[in-house]
Homo-oligomer: A and B are copies of this chain.
Amino acid sequence: MDGFERIKVITRSFRELYHALWLLGQVEELDITGIQLFVLSAVAKEPNLSLGELAEMMQTNNSTMSGIVDRLVKADLIVRERSEKDRRTLTMRITPLGEEKRKQAKKYVQERLSGLANMKDEDISLLLKLHQDILDKIHLEGDGKKDDESK
């Protein structure tokens, strides 16, 4: 397996897992996606999170999060308002319908992914460490190459 072949195999593996886990087949019968559920949980736990904070928590782009929030609002699962203090910023809170959906979906996901939840601690640590190593390697190389005016 040469270098390029490795890169293919590894990227394919990440892609596969990403889709299996993140999208969750759109949490089938509940008509909500994985990331929508995580956003719903975050908003339930901490109302008044801004969109940017949400995006950072989920490690996604602002524009992506804007769309996700938009769909949650359209589905009546959260309410989106401008902050009084800073009218650029959003505040969000979950609706009763959203709270219901959150509970159901969380239950569903916990059952569906119980194997994941029950993984050994050391395996999880190992997995996350390997992932971080890869990220470090990629980012080091990327930065060294293109971006020399750091700060």
Which of B4, B11, B110, B131 makes the CB contact (< 8 A) with A106?
B4
A111 to chain B, nearest CB (A): 8
Residue on B nearest A137 in the bound complex, by CB: B115
Which of B38, B117, B127, B138 makes the CB contact (< 8 A) with A116?
B138
Q: How many residues from A make CB contacts under 8 Å with B?
A: 56
Sample of 11 A–B contacts (CB below 8 Å):
A3-B110, A3-B114, A7-B21, A10-B124, A11-B21, A14-B22, A15-B18, A111-B141, A112-B145, A116-B137, A127-B127
Q: How far is the CA of A8 from the CA of B18 in the complex (A)?
A: 12
A131 to chain B, nearest CB (A): 5
A1-25 interface code vs B (CB 8 A; 1 in, 0 out): 0111011111111111110111000
CB contacts (< 8 Å) of A109 on chain B: these are 4, 7
A135 to chain B, nearest CB (A): 6
A83-115 interface code vs B (CB 8 A; 1 in, 0 out): 000000000000000000000001001111111
The verdict on A142 contacting chain B, using a C-beta distance below 8 Å, is yes
The verdict on A31 contacting chain B, using a C-beta distance below 8 Å, is no
The verdict on A30 contacting chain B, using a C-beta distance below 8 Å, is no
Which of B2, B7, B59, B113 makes the CB contact (< 8 A) with A16?
B59
Q: How far is the CA of A140 from the CA of B113 in the complex (A)?
A: 10
CB contacts (< 8 Å) of A145 on chain B: these are 111-112
